[in-house]
Chain A
Amino acid sequence: MNKFKTTESFENHISKEKRSAKAKAFFINFLLSFYLFFSLFFSSSYLIYEKNILPSFFYFILLAFSFIFSLLWTSKNSSLGSMAIYKTNKFLKNRKELQSEFNLFSFSGIFISLVLILTILLGSILVDINLYLLFSSQGLSGAKRIFSALFQPNWNIISQVLSSMVDTIFIAFLATFIAIPIAFFFSFFAARNLMKNSLLGNSVYTVIRFISNFTRSVEPLVWAVIFSVWVGVGPFAGMLALAIHSVSSLIKLYSEQIESVGQGPLEAIESTGAHPVLVVWYAVVPQIILPYLSFTIYRWDINIRMATVIGLVGGGGIGTLLVQYQGLAQWNEVGTIVIVIASVVWLMDYLSAKLREAIY
């Protein structure tokens, strides 16, 4: 992309970039300062009165105050927002006059420490931390009842448990297996270094990244709920849920691997005049095959653990069995299942670690 033809057009662009960076920096500073003031007043109100006594118009005052505060603050290059933006903007990051180093004892340093302290304070207020409940005698006796049942497993149901466990392993295996070719194909289009050179490439990259980020941010548990409505409760729904999540996770892992390949071979094959597909095939693929294998084995390992969890919401396999016995409060049977799950997960974890070690 030849955006700049002359020194003037380049400098124009830099000043435009500076303005938008300033706006972004202001936005970050604004959010940070509002959060700081809000959490300061909110937690002090709890600490003093044990409830929130702030009237709603007070938030507007805080908003206005944060606005003015961050306006003033953004004029300094050492404000948190400015530092974050100037250090990451590719046009501005090597302009010395805009950069300032973070120092814990500067205004920004104290500001961020305050934010951290107030967040811990606010968090413990909101989570309702109560050590009394954790150590009350009633609570402890309930815990003892469950634990002792879990440690006295009922081995009579072992064949049922094992057959469900086999289901779970195959759910995980199939989900991984289906995800591999799909993720392999799309990972190239989700790699910045291969796609960012043309407008078309850039838009394909953006679309694929968006879809994969979205499907990945929806937890497999939620996908299992969706698919159990779609195709009915059972292993098929669980497999689909894991497969879709595996595709998007593997796209992310694979494409990051592509982004980190050595650029040298790419340049070399490109300079021979080869077709872009062959450039990728010769210069990128040999560099990524082994890391891909390792990621895939790791993913299978994750999928076995996840398959257990999504069984809880109707994804079939051992999780479904677990939730049935748990619903009937048959803790000895639950204990059997937990032992089987733990052993299988441990075994798979060990195998996957060994396999990945052998590959590298």
Chain B
Amino acid sequence: MSKTILEIKNLEKFYENGVHALKSVSFDVKQGEFLAVIGLSGSGKSTMLRCINGLVPSSSGEINFQGQDIISLKSKELRLARKSIGMIFQHFNLISRKSVLVNVLSGSLAKVSLFNGIFAKFSKKETDKAMSNLELVGLKDKAYIRADELSGGQQQRVAIARALMQDPEILLADEPVASLDPATSHSVMDHLAYINKELNKTVVCNLHFLSLVRKYATRVIALKDGKLVFEGSPLDIDEAWFKRIYGEQAREVGIE
């Protein structure tokens, strides 16, 4: 495949409450791939994703992105680096009392001055871009209604539009469909796949369902108790690997 966009080396994370969440995790992310991260709840998937954009400070190791090590960045440089890393979340994390448009525009807050940010003055260019991103996720007609009036799937699509405002090099998705029903899940995943293939954005996505992994991911890594235990193609995860990642008792359930 093409060049490496993100390189993670010996990443460690100790939480203050005594949890050793990540144990020497190393892997590369290639330009343009759709990398799925699987593992049980509590295996460190969310922590790992949050280490990449510094939402959770790493304890030690290296995260090389755009020629700099995210871990060693000062807060101002970290903010700059975050501009190129979009993120969407399991619970969408929209500002519920604000309109859909303002939520999308909040994705470009890193580009506006403090004054313009506080008075929500966004340029015509940004507003047009927000509208076209909303069109991309099929929610242009909902621009002026309050975010909490949307359904879960629609909220997640707004969150995708918000992340696209950053023109991200890479898009992190933390369990993007875990709180959605199966039909809506596919719609959200299809939008992510479109962004990955057509807009050529690299996607790193935590997922629960192997069926979704097989359908959408180009490559998979698996975490177990904070350790990287598998790296390969989605088709390589057979019964034996499945039991090693999810435990002997586990049985696969699908989302079709």
Contact = CB atoms under 8 A, between A and B. Distances in A.
Contacts of B183: none
A161 to B, nearest CB: 45
Contacts of B89: 264, 267-268
A5 B12 contact: yes
B110 to A, nearest CB: 4
B152 interface: no
Contacts of B44: none
A271 B136 CA distance: 22
8 contacts: A2-B59, A91-B17, A262-B93, A264-B92, A268-B87, A273-B109, A274-B117, A278-B117
Given A278-B114, A281-B118, A271 B53 contact: yes
B58 interface: yes
B206 interface: no
Interface in B1-23: 12, 14, 16-20
Given A5-B59, A94-B17, A264-B89, A272 B95 contact: no
A278 B159 contact: no
Contact of B18 (A94, A198, A275): A94
Nearest to A274: B109
A281 B109 CA distance: 11
Contact of B79 (A198, A275, A283): A275
Given A91-B17, A264-B91, A278-B109, A5 B82 contact: no
A2 B93 contact: no
A14 B17 CA distance: 10
Nearest to A10: B14
A198 B74 CA distance: 12
Interface of B: 12, 14, 16-20, 50, 53, 55, 57-60, 75, 79-83, 85-87, 89, 91-98, 106-110, 114, 117-118, 159, 162-163, 165-166, 172
Contacts, number: 116
A273 B83 contact: yes
A147 interface: no
Interface in A113-149: none
Given A272-B110, A274-B117, A7 B98 contact: no
A275 B113 CA distance: 9
Contacts of A269: 95, 106, 109
A19 interface: no
Sort chain A's interface into a size bin: 35 or more
A1 interface: yes
Interface string A82-99: 000000001111110000
A274 B95 CA distance: 15
A90 B15 CA distance: 10
Contacts of A92: 18
Contact of A4 (B59, B80, B91, B96): B59
A270 interface: yes
B117 A275 contact: yes
A273 B81 contact: yes
Given A3-B16, A6-B60, 16 more contacts: A5-B12, A10-B14, A91-B16, A94-B17, A264-B92, A264-B93, A268-B93, A268-B159, A269-B109, A271-B55, A271-B82, A272-B82, A274-B117, A278-B114, A282-B117, A283-B95
A286 interface: yes
A275 B114 contact: yes
Contact of B107 (A6, A270, A272, A275): A272
Contacts of B172: 271
Given A273-B110, A274-B79, A275-B117, A2 B162 contact: no
A35 B233 CA distance: 68
A267 B93 contact: yes
Interface string A1-22: 1111111001000100000000
Most buried by B among A273, A282, A287: A273
Most buried by B among A14, A198, A267: A267
A277 interface: yes
Contact of B16 (A6, A90, A275): A90
A273 B80 contact: yes
B14 A4 contact: yes
B114 A270 contact: no
Nearest to A4: B14
B111 to A, nearest CB: 9
Nearest to B106: A282
